[in-house]
Amino acid sequence: MTDSKTAARPRHAELGLSDDDVLAMYERMLLARAVDERMWLMQRAGKIAFIISGQGHEGAQVATAWPMRRGHDWMAPYYRSIASAITFGMSAEDIITAHLAKGDDVSSAGRQMPGHYGGAPYNIVSVSSPVGTQVLHAVGIALGAWVRGDDVVTITSFGEGTANQGEIHEAMNFAGVHKLPVIFVCENNGYAISVPLDRQVGGGSVAARAQGYGFPGVTVDGGDVLSCYAAAREAHERARRGEGPTLIEAQVVRLTSHSSDDDQRRYRDPAEVETLKEHDPIPLFGNELRNAGTLTDAIDERLRADVKTQINEASVRAEARVEPDVATAALHVYGPEAD
Amino acid sequence: MAELSILEAIRSAMDDEMERDPNVIVLGEDVGRKGGVFGATEGLWAKYGDKRVLDTPLTEAMIAGAAAGAAIYGLRPIAEMQFADFVYPAFNQIVSEISRMRYRSNGTFNLPMVIRMPYGGGVHGALYHSQSNETYFTSTVGLKVVAPGTPADAKGLLTAAIRDSDPVLFFEHKKTYRLFKAEVPDGDHVVPIGRAEVARQGRDLSIFCYGYMRTCALEAAETLAAEDGVEAEVVDLRTLRPLDVAAVLGSVEKTGKALVVHEANRFGGFGAEVAATIAEGAFEHLDGPVTRLAGPEVPAVPFHHSLEEWFMVSPAKIVEAARKLAAY
């Protein structure tokens, strides 16, 4: 009797997540996907110059960002982190506005190309293009928290291609030396633009490298949202206990080409591309929540309708925003001499 | 007033600012217990402890990048590159990230941080311990670049750099560290970034210099006065970016002749910017060609003392160049 009751208890409840929590996570994933898809449409319509997609990464992103305390902890994301940023406080409108390069865009006021969001009000570090640089910033923020003795955790994310940059090694080594409160999330989608994992990562595992730095490296299925969450929650708690960093390698799929300027049919087997959808975290998580009795058709329809409304409204508002004034282009090169 | 060497003045600035502001930290290779390979941070580790004076691994990109992150968080890091020659692994962080964080975030993130770097030759450091590589950074918008030549300026400019809301690259000519002692004002001594100083008044030509070249130029000016009756004005730029254009043009308007002196390579060196500034802004005041005296066109300072001497800009070379210009 006891056994069957335990077995019947949903995984998310075992992890301390309520039904509302997991439905909210599911909703964030739907929202991030909808933002992403809307921006592809806007790109095809000539409204957005370029789009670099996070489709297929949403499960890992929402789950790893979920334990992070909004407005308190810090995030140094990368250009594919739409769902991470949305989970950590940016709105759909913020993301679309940044991609439209509007004059009152919170990320850069139209200075940065699409995919380079961020925002001081959200503790999200401004994204740049040279890959991996943000990982050192995350370590530096964690260093700052450590110096001051603040209970603050920093999360940073990057792809498996970036994992090979020297700066990643320098960052992880230093974080390991001082047991800094930082979470490294490698979103391994198997391709660095066109180059597959076996031509990028010696040994085949990014997570395994953590052993050399003296902290745990865990590999999780990026299609399994609750596994990603469990790893991130443990990493967050470890960091708060002063036990140092964790490297989470989430094995995800890249459902789209690298960007709107790329065509993955040139270097990926069509059969392989076809199987990617089986690993799409949204239906996988949806099915899990249905099987747990948490998600019903009615709830799913309501969430999807609500997301659609949000996206439509966010797009309209974002498009109506002002264009940058050329008179602002030379501002903010230097600040006041002292502050 | 205390008599300090440049090295002592630099240490004193860091000590005072660390005492004044708990957000100021120091990080770099061997800066802790050892106190730095030149001794610039001596005593700071014992006084401020492990968390505020950090011995880092041999990872220059990390030193710069983590300093940037700490600055985002609200600290005021002073990062030390053991030698300016070893800054290149950090180049990506400095140029791609640190210089433009304010601009790319529309002023919502800024980086109050300093990167200190011993530069320059004349110390038997050869190709990899002698470089004057300031031009890579003076040509990068978003950075401030400072190169003091006296103990008072070293203290006052480093204090200003630590308090500045933007990243400052602080070039310390290693030959000057213990070269001489001079008076440094007591108490809160700040020299504003971006202002040159007329180190010696003169009427016949202007010599523009910075760092160790100030000492060389002043010595040359005394020789010119004694042997030639030529009165050279020596203008110590002190800050390379932002350049004190008014001071440069003002001196040329007075003397009509300009000699720009630096140890770094001539081609595309900082002197080219000064020369162009003069050509554009003081053309009608010129009585002779704007002249550059710089390090020769070899990749870096060679080791053997005779080869190094051949490379180095010296008072004698400045006298020679100034005589030619004065006679024009």
Task: Summarize pLDDT for A261-285 with one digit per residue, the tens.
Answer: 999 999 999 999 999 999 999 999 9
Which domains does chain B show, CATH number per domain?
2-184 (3.40.50.970), 197-326 (3.40.50.920)
For B92, list phi and psi in degrees, rounded to 5. -60, -45
- B251: three-class secondary structure by DSSP: helix
Closest CA to A86 of A102, A103, A104, A68: A68
What confidence tens digit (pLDDT) does each residue in A158-171 have? 999 999 999 999 99
How far is the C-alpha of B278 from the C-alpha of B248, rounded, in Å?
7
Query: Where residue B1 falls among pLDDT bands split at 50, 70, 90?
Result: confident
pLDDT of residue B195: 98
d(CA B75, CA B113): 8
Q: Can you tell me the distance from the alpha carbon of A251 to that of A257, in angstroms, rounded to the nearest whole number? A: 17
pLDDT at A337 (0 to 100)? 61
Predicted confidence at residue A8, as pLDDT, reads 76
What would you measure as the largest C-alpha separation in chain B, in angstroms?
Answer: 59
Q: Do B92 and A130 touch (CB under 8 A)?
A: yes
Torsion angle, CA of A13/A231/A149/A152, rounded to 10 degrees? -70
Structure confidence at residue A24 (pLDDT): 98
- Write down the residue that tokens 């797009």 correspond to: A315
Nearest C-alpha in A relative to B65: A136
pLDDT score for A44:
95
Residue in B closest to A103 by C-alpha: B106
pLDDT at A323 > cutoff 50: yes
Contact B110 A335 (CB under 8 A): yes
A72-112 per-position pLDDT tens digit: 999 999 999 999 999 999 999 999 999 999 999 999 999 99
Using an 8 Å Cβ cutoff, are B212 and B154 in contact?
Answer: no
All structural domains of chain A, each given as residue ranges with its CATH number in brackets, are 11-258+280-322 (3.40.50.970)
Provide the pLDDT confidence category of residue A1 given band limits of 50, 70 and 90: very low
| List of residues 6+ apart from B45 with CB closer than 8 A | B31, B32, B33, B35, B53
pLDDT value at A3 more than 80: no
Dump the DSSP string for B208-231: EE-THHHHHHHHHHHHHHHHH---
**Residue A241 near residue A181 (C-beta atoms within 8 A):** no
Going by pLDDT thresholds of 50, 70 and 90, the confidence category of residue A338 is: low
Q: Do A143 and B70 touch (CB under 8 A)?
A: yes
User: Radius of gyration of chain B from Cα atoms?
Assistant: 19
Give the pLDDT score at B77.
98
pLDDT of residue A324: 97
> Which residues numbered 278-317 in B keep a CB inside 8 Å of some CB on A?
none
Query: Which B-chain residues 167-186 have CB contacts (< 8 A) with chain A?
Result: none
At residue B244's C-alpha, the angle toward residues B158 and B328, to 5°, is 125
Contact A173 B142 (CB under 8 A): no
Q: Report the sign of the C-alpha dihedral through residues B155, B156, B162, B167, in that order.
A: negative
Dihedral through CA A318, CA A319, CA A325, CA A326, nearest 10?
120
Average pLDDT of chain A, as a whole number: 95
Asked if the model's pLDDT at residue A243 lies above 50, the reply is yes
Mean pLDDT of B84-112: 98
Terminal CA-CA length for chain A: 66
Euclidean distance between CA atoms B34 and A55, whole angstroms:
51
- What pTM does this model have? 0.97
